[in-house]
Structure 1
């Protein structure tokens, strides 16, 4: 009995190590296979990744709003060292770029596991011998595909909204870096209204994406409860 327990423990450790290495190497198909061996199906991975992407977008929302406020404060403040102004804006740009990259990576991970799950589901429909069960599963697959398409459309739309905002932030920081004088600061103030418009549009797109993620997660939970 003790031997069996040790063998089971070793098997679990091997599978977990394989999952870790697969994640490091970026081989997602190997990662999914390893996780399924320890009882973690693609469906659970998808739910976890959607939650992670949603939370990442919330963090990015906060960072972009913070960056806009900082740009407004720094450019609107009369006096102070110009290099300090530049450093403050560069720090906000760096933080915004990091949050944006995190969002992109997490959305890519959602897409990867969702496509793997849906393709596998589609392939396994042919394995049913009971027509009623096959039809029921096919209907749920279609429903899940539709919800996933809505989620991914919203996530990608929010993701694309980040690029023009980051580009504008970067332009302003570069301009201030190359022109550390009061006139440069004054010229950038006039562009704040356009930046604010872009940021507000980004925040609205992220709101929509976050809502779609919540809807998707709730639907997955309901579907699991029915099974």
Structure 2
């Protein structure tokens, strides 16, 4: 089984076609609903890792503004490294959310198409109602994840701006200027972490409801 999953993963990489991947996984008994849960959990992991990375970036920024002797260029390098790691974390979050949305749309399209296969009208209506409810819950989840994603940009912009400023002004005056930015950076990072946490909670709720309805 492990080998087959690995081969399927390689096939997906080569074809870059989600439908090919979904069909192959279906043959192994792994349905889109299962893949959706897995990808939501992957997105949660990415957001949790992102929270830790942005906390690290904030701490690094605090170290810069509290600089009291030593190699200022080294402080810049550490701040810039924290910024670059934050960019990587942000990209990973966006990628994971996109993959969640891809399989969710495929699942809902399949579900909608299969409603036409029912001969029992009562069962069809019940399934249609469940589909609508699941889509509504998913819409709330996606909105929460996208909100967290959009909250990242202001933080990255601020980190980049301050890193660039320090790069070209490696002196005490630059440190003094950056001190005035600390409050804004702290607020943005704190708000971002809170927004991510809300998205993670929404993910947990959606997974719980999805499993309960399966």
TM-score range, shorter chain: over 0.9
- 1:6 matched residue in structure 2: none
Distance, in Å, in 1 between the alignment partners of 2:53 and 2:199 is 16
Q: Deviations over 1:82-133 (max 9, x none)?
A: 1011011011111111111110000000000000000110111011001111
- 1:125 matched residue in structure 2: 115
Correspondences of 1:1-227 after superposition (within 5 Å) = 17-224=7-214
Structure 1 pair 64–14 and aligned structure 2 pair: CA distance change class (3 A): closer
SS across alignment from 1:170: helix
Contact persistence 2:67–2:175 (CA under 8 A): no
Deviation of 1:14 after TM superposition, in Å, equals: 6.5
Deviation of 1:80 after TM superposition, in Å, equals: 1.4
Contact persistence 1:16–1:34 (CA under 8 A): no
Deviation of 1:74 after TM superposition, in Å, equals: 2.2
Structure 1 pair 183–112 and aligned structure 2 pair: CA distance change class (3 A): same
Distance, in Å, in 2 between the alignment partners of 1:180 and 1:59 is 31
Task: Find runs of 4+ consecutive structure 1 residues off by over 6 angstroms.
Answer: none
User: Rg bigger for which structure?
Assistant: 1
Instruction: Count residues with an aligned counterpart.
Output: 214
Distance, in Å, in 1 between the alignment partners of 2:139 and 2:15 is 28
Distance, in Å, in 2 between the alignment partners of 1:19 and 1:138 is 32
Gaps in structure 2 of 5+ consecutive residues: none
Gaps in structure 1 of 5+ consecutive residues: 1-8
TM-score (norm 2): 0.95
**The 10-residue stretch of structure 1 (18-27 or 57-66) with the greater mean CA deviation from structure 2:** 18-27
Distance, in Å, in 1 between the alignment partners of 2:29 and 2:117 is 21
Contact persistence 1:97–1:166 (CA under 8 A): yes
**The 10-residue stretch of structure 1 (14-23 or 182-191) with the greater mean CA deviation from structure 2:** 14-23
Give the superposed CA RMSD: 1.6
